[in-house]
Structure 1
Amino acid sequence: MTILRISAAFCAAILAIIGSALAAGDDVFVVPRVTVQAQADNATAAKLIAQRSGRRHALQLLLRRLTVEEDWPYLPRFASETSEVSPTGPEDFSMLAERTVLTLDHSMLEALESGFEVYNEKSSARTYRAYITYRFKPAAIRKLLRDAQIPYSEAQTRMALVLPVLETQNGLYLWEENNPWMAAWKVRPYNNELTPMTAPLGDLEDASTISPRQALALNEEALAAMAERYSVSQVIVAHAFLKQVDGQHQLRVRLVNGFRESADFSADAELSQINTAPGQFGFDDVQQGPTTNAFAPAQVGDVLAQALFNREAGNFPALAEEAIEVVIAKHAKPWKERTLIDHTEAALLEASAFFNSLGDWTKIRSALISTPLVGSVQVRSLSRTGAEMLIRAYGDPDKLIVAMEAQGLALWTEDGVSWMIATPSTAQRVRGKQRNRRNRFGEYQNGALPVQPAAYEGQPDPRY
């Protein structure tokens, strides 16, 4: 690979895209529009109580967003909560006794916050009510979870459009003004989740594009039109069936994969071939290293998550918010498990990037740097068509494969030692052809530069 002088404009473009990728990655540390309310002797005291209560709730939502349910009992607690929490049985008690649960006070909690924004603020002589968006410091939250010895994920999938269809004994609702299920998805946005979703505008164009019956029937043409309008690769139908029995609200919720663009399937097929094609360099031929089939993309009609709720009738907005939180957590669980960061393990991967344009290279570079599974990326050499890198990755490289796949990139290994990364179309062209490529030192190696990993062990991790 010929080494070329890199122009200032080239470097500036790279830095600009990297910067925007890092900023976008901080979105998971934002908890939007948390409902806060309190009553006290005066409005000032009520406001302070409400904001502190909201901050505690927002931190709980954030920590649960980043971790798997099995670790929730060990999440850091607020000081006043420690005496309130009790194990549910002898087995739980023994598990809690073996692990130390960190305790936070008001000052520690405020130190985790980078700022907040208040909406629809209302107060009286003794009460306060508002919506507050809390922003937390990514580095501080990462350190908190590391200190608590809890693995976490902060890698996001691509944004999906959600169509909230409510079914009752009186009919189907989607675009109607009296659809409380749609309203619940709009009250607090869910685009900061690890599996981000956004609700539609609900304007005349939406209503003329798809009806609630078409949504439930997974009408391919109508769903594709909605995906195109909102520039998303996936549309999820959130079907809620509500009925009232003996003063109880019975709510059944299902998230159904309604649409996924064909380009995703093409890319997934190529990625699957890269890592599992029999007789080439699939699982049987690789000395060590993972495949990508552990996280198969959902097919149209697949139920992504479902849950059933029975609550006292009278407060459907609260029930709807609870239901959304539960099904999103269920939907995100497989993704979390495959992208959890375990800082007790780290590997140095010698990797070659292949690209045909500056756009492809900046996509590869920014995807790696913005992925929390990567501690650092060192570019050893760069040309117009490729780059040699040393990647510090946390945990099992299988998780890095999944994270790159979610960003539309192929990461694979042909011998379990040297790694390659490219867009799916470029990967399809170059895979299996790099075994005898000559590197810049004139030595034949499997697509990687000779490096001394020990020389990089002492380097600081720029992310932390």
Structure 2
Amino acid sequence: MHRFFRFLPFVLLALAAAAPAQAQNQQELYTVSGIRVDASGASSTEAFNAGISQGRPRAFQILFRRLTRQQDWNRQPALDAAALLRISRGFDIANERRSTTRYVADVTYRFNPDAVARILRSSGIAFAQGAVRRILVVPMSPGVGRGPWASALANPAFRDSMVPFTVSGAEDDEALAGLNFETAGWNELSAVAARNGVAEVALVQAAYSNGRMMVNIRRVAAGGAPARTSLEVPVQGTMGAVYPVAAQAAVRAVEDLWKTRSVVDYSQRGRLVADVRITSLAQFGGLQAQVGALNTVQSVQVTAMHLGYARLAIAYVGGADQLREQLAGAGVILTQRGGQWTLALAGR
């Protein structure tokens, strides 16, 4: 018992340090930038107010589509100006131009995560619960290599994707040579993933055959089962014109694949007990902080501690498989052997 109380201050410090980072990541997710407004009014003030109000519905639509699956986009709640204002936290302005009757600017809108969540839950719409950690995208056409497909996926236009990603570079090609899209596992990808600072990889393959362009996506993560999706992209014009269209479709499919696992059913609740091997105070505090920072985790309690080991009780919403997937995205591996759960930091 003394060991528990000796460790407790360090654990609390680690949890406190993680909270600001979690809040910052969540606020970035609920911030929509680059909304161009152009409005007129009887006075400069009226034009300004009209412009800010004009852009808010467009910003909310972008946010809604960022958080939800494409199949739910037609279910977007119809919010009037007053309702949109109630779920807003503020705005920032750039490239402003004013006259006595006209207002033009690029506006960044910030929304209140809790208020938006309440509206979506009351509408019965599943939505992503938090920001997704950066992943690595490996272009394949059909194998790994440089070319127009890799260039299309590296388009800067995708930098604001719901799933932030880095495209593997030429320096990764040697380690990925001979990679098989169908069978590649984490053991073959872990070194490249570590070099790029990620815990998840998306193999994004463009395959052209008999006048058809298929885009195949396979998600591989440490401690998680691979997931796959495919889509067909219409071939119109030259291949040079098809690749950018296919890349856009691929990015949207990647977003949907990642959103699907982050959708939470709040009526489903669970609790599990997991053992943790302690190598240092920093390692243990960091692991507990990462677990507690997940939006789906309601509480993390230390129920037992022994030399080199601790036992954590985790209460969560959603399913155990979903919790395992979300932990993997946070760099924590949850495994079950013989009915006993264990937790470890990825790569340890």
Q: If the length of structure 2 is used for normalisation, what is the TM-score?
A: 0.71
1:60 is matched with 61
Query: What are the ranges of 5 or more consecutive residues in structure 2 without an aligned counterpart?
Result: 140-146, 178-188, 207-212, 237-243
CA distance in 2, matches of 1:238, 1:9: 45
1:49 is matched with 50
User: How much does 1:35 deviate?
Assistant: 2.1
1:295 is matched with 227
CA contact (8 A) 1:190 1:197 kept: no
CA contact (8 A) 1:413 1:420 kept: yes
CA distance in 1, matches of 2:124, 2:307: 42
User: How much does 1:399 deviate?
Assistant: 0.7
Q: Which amino acid aligns with 2:326?
A: A
Q: 2:106 aligns with which of 131, 137, 152?
A: 131
1:411 is matched with 334
User: How much does 1:198 deviate?
Assistant: 6.6
2:257 is matched with 334
> Which aligned pairs between 1:74-153 and structure 2 lie closer than 5 A?
74-77=75-78, 104-153=79-128
CA contact (8 A) 1:29 1:135 kept: no
SS of corresponding position for 2:5: coil
Are 1:37 and 2:37 matched, yes or no?
yes
> Which aligned pairs between 1:430-441 and structure 2 lie closer than 5 A?
none
CA contact (8 A) 1:413 1:419 kept: yes
User: How much does 1:343 deviate?
Assistant: 0.6
> Which aligned pairs between 1:390-405 and structure 2 lie closer than 5 A?
390-405=313-328
Are 1:359 and 2:282 matched, yes or no?
yes
User: How much does 1:332 deviate?
Assistant: 1.2
CA distance in 1, matches of 2:265, 2:280: 34
Q: 1:343 aligns with which of 266, 272, 294?
A: 266
User: How much does 1:309 deviate?
Assistant: 9.4
Q: Which has the larger radius of gyration?
A: 1
* Residue 353 to residue 222, structure 1, CA distance change in 2 (3 Å): closer
CA contact (8 A) 1:40 1:127 kept: yes
* Residue 141 to residue 47, structure 1, CA distance change in 2 (3 Å): same
CA contact (8 A) 1:3 1:381 kept: no
SS of corresponding position for 1:128: strand
1:423 is matched with 345
Q: Which amino acid aligns with 2:36?
A: V
> Which aligned pairs between 1:215-234 and structure 2 lie closer than 5 A?
219-220=173-174
* Residue 414 to residue 295, structure 1, CA distance change in 2 (3 Å): same
User: How much does 1:383 deviate?
Assistant: 5.2
> Which aligned pairs between 1:258-297 and structure 2 lie closer than 5 A?
268=222, 271=223, 292-295=224-227
Are 1:18 and 2:11 matched, yes or no?
no
* Residue 222 to residue 413, structure 1, CA distance change in 2 (3 Å): closer
1:118-160, Cα deviation, whole Å (9 max, x unpaired):
2222233443332222222222122111111122222444324
Query: What are the ranges of 5 or more consecutive residues in structure 1 without an aligned counterpart?
Result: 78-103, 165-170, 201-209, 241-251, 272-291, 297-302, 311-319, 427-464
User: How much does 1:182 deviate?
Assistant: 4.8
Question: % of aligned pairs identical?
Answer: 25
Q: Which amino acid aligns with 2:111?
A: F
* Residue 234 to residue 174, structure 1, CA distance change in 2 (3 Å): same
1:251-275, Cα deviation, whole Å (9 max, x unpaired):
x997989xx9xxxx8x73xx3xxxx
CA contact (8 A) 1:4 1:384 kept: no
1:199-243, Cα deviation, whole Å (9 max, x unpaired):
99xxxxxxxxx7xxx69xx8448999x999975678989999xxx
Are 1:378 and 2:301 matched, yes or no?
yes
CA contact (8 A) 2:39 2:104 kept: no
Q: Which amino acid aligns with 1:295?
A: A
* Residue 49 to residue 304, structure 1, CA distance change in 2 (3 Å): farther
Q: Which amino acid aligns with 1:62?
A: L
Q: If the length of structure 1 is used for normalisation, what is the TM-score?
A: 0.55
CA contact (8 A) 1:29 1:137 kept: no
* Residue 344 to residue 231, structure 1, CA distance change in 2 (3 Å): closer
CA distance in 2, matches of 1:11, 1:134: 36
CA contact (8 A) 2:96 2:104 kept: yes
When the two chains are superposed, the root-mean-square deviation of aligned CA atoms in Å is 4.5
